[in-house]
Amino acid sequence: MSADHSLHDPLQGVEEAAEYREKYNRQLSDNDVVALRQQALAEIDNAKFGMFHVKACMVAGIGFFTDSYDIFAINLCSLIMGYVYYADAVGPAKNTTPTNIDMWIKGATQLGCIIGQFTFGYLADRLGRKRIYGVELIIIIVCTIGASFSGNTMRGLSVYWVLFIWRFVLGIGIGGDYPVSAIITSEFATTKNRGAMIAAVFAMQGFGIVAAAIVALIVLACFKGAVEGDQLKLDYVWRIIMGLGTTPRYTIDIEQNVKRAAIDVQTTVNGRRDLGDEAYAAQAAHNDKKVKKPNWTEFYNHFKKWKHFRVLMGTAVTWFALDVAFYGVNLNSSIILQAIGFVSSESPYKAILKNTAGNIILNLLGTLPGYWVTVFTIDRLGRKTIQYIGFVMLLILFCILGFAYHQILDKSVAAFVVLITLANFFQNFGPNTTTFIIPSEAFPTRFRSTCHGISAASGKIGAVIAQLGFFHLKDRGGKNKFIPQLIQIFALFMLVGLLFTWFVPETKGKSLEQLSEESED
């Protein structure tokens, strides 16, 4: 909503509203912008939690639901595609997507995310949150549908390369969702509940991961007869699973919610709509015009100071370290389940069914509880405390899983699954959530989205390294023989994350202005 639109949109037939607006315009011209800004920010920070906050979380959360669905559905889709496109292969290659191809179609989205997070993060600071939010929606919908219809070209490109291209561009859209959704939620949240609100938005990622596995289970069950008669019918299964990732994003009119957000803030404060709403929106728009547009010179001058750079370094390195293990485990959980003997060499239908069920178990018992324990404790325990707890526990668990890998499996596969489930829990009741939250709070408004984008992109660089390293190393010495050593490497990265958490500030209970030390002019 532009300032001009806000100031010249009369409530027709209501003289009182016109008088209010005229009086308000005089206020703005009398050098009271600073006082009005302070008053507006105080109202936002101290408002009671209400339906507007719920709506804001739902709008941003549905985006993260579908983002995570799209990212992690490929874990099962790639598995299923092996039974379609390599059904005629012989030996160990039969019914298996080749390692190099599996690596690239899983890594494509992460590569796109790096570009999207950095680009959209900067543009949200440069052009404004409202002008950017919704663009990524179009990219995600178009590319998800396109990916589900991937096929071989007449010459040159196989179905896998076409899928890679679609998922790379999809990653750009998903990457754009990270900084923009986080910043919008952070800037509309109350100080008291800000951590829980941002965590609740991010926790929808857990539902998306679980939904991908449940949808796969349902679609597979619907095709049971067809697949048992002809495993090539699985070609329909992976396409339907992937294509359904677009559905939830149609349910909320994102652009409308964002454009009305400034007006709805006043409703949040007093629980009713009155003549102050339009003035409040006008104030927000007017203040937006007063904010200096960021440039790289100003960015450099700000972050060349150690006290500012250490924060950006802390958020970027901890996110990087976490994502090496997070995506190394979660994008390859199907491979890990096969490697530990959870999935036996049965018929294609039974093998995929059991693998899908294993993914559901890991996420329902570990991933989802981890997210929601964070939601309910983060504003009491603090972000930094939870991040320390998570990194310490992950360091311990990955050391046990890595160094005692064969001993545990010799005793009990179930015990190994329990430990992996605990690792999933402490990833999410820990750094996977806090590395997302802290960058949305710790930086000045003019750089906040850019810095969140840089931090998130650093995480995705870690995810890409995890994918490249996992697939290039996992078969050293034989199929899946190097997985114990990979888990040990994940433990090393948890130690790095633990050490760099020291540079991250505790943001609990502080306003965004206190955290960023923003001036009042």
> Is 275 inside any structural domain?
no
Residue with tokens 């693998």: 355
> Is 208 in contact with 64 (CB distance < 8 Å)?
yes
For residue 6, pLDDT over 80 is answered with: no
Question: Which amino acid, one-letter code, is at 232?
Answer: L
State the average pLDDT over residues 386-410. 95
> Is 157 inside any structural domain?
yes
Residue span of the structural domain in which 415 resides: 47-252+292-516
Tell me the per-residue pLDDT of 234-255, one tens digit each, with 9 for 90 and over. Answer: 999 999 999 987 765 544 444 4
Q: Rounded distance, CA 382 to CA 384, Å?
A: 6
Write down the pLDDT at residue 281.
45
Write down the pLDDT at residue 3.
43
> Is 7 inside any structural domain?
no
Among 45-49, 239-243, 271-275, 378-382, where is mean pLDDT lowest?
271-275
> Is 379 inside any structural domain?
yes
Tell me the per-residue pLDDT of 279-301, one tens digit each, with 9 for 90 and over. Answer: 444 444 444 444 456 678 889 99
Prediction pTM value: 0.79
Between the CA of residue 73 and those of 161, 240, 342, 348, what are the distances in Å? Answer: 17, 11, 20, 18
State the average pLDDT over residues 440-462. 92
Q: Rounded distance, CA 183 to CA 467, Å?
A: 28
> Is 257 inside any structural domain?
no
Q: Rounded distance, CA 177 to CA 199, Å?
A: 15
Q: How far apart are the first and last CA of the chain?
A: 23
> Is 269 inside any structural domain?
no
> Is 28 inside any structural domain?
no
Among 132-136, 197-201, 250-254, 483-487, where is mean pLDDT lowest?
250-254
Total domains, the chain: 1
Mean of per-residue pLDDT scores for the chain: 80
CATH number of 441's domain:
1.20.1250.20
DSSP labels, 42-107: HHHHHPPP-HHHHHHHHHHHHHHHHHHHHHHHHHHHHHHHHHHHTTT--GGGTT---HHHHHHHHH
> Is 434 in contact with 377 (CB distance < 8 Å)?
no
For residue 278, pLDDT over 60 is answered with: no
For residue 425, pLDDT over 90 is answered with: yes
- 407: helix, coil or strand? helix
Q: Rounded distance, CA 291 to CA 302, Å?
A: 16
Q: How confident is the model at residue 153 (pLDDT cuts 50, 70, 90)?
A: confident
Tell me the per-residue pLDDT of 196-219, one tens digit each, with 9 for 90 and over. Answer: 889 998 899 889 999 999 999 999
> Is 176 inside any structural domain?
yes
> Is 250 in contact with 63 (CB distance < 8 Å)?
no
For residue 257, pLDDT over 80 is answered with: no
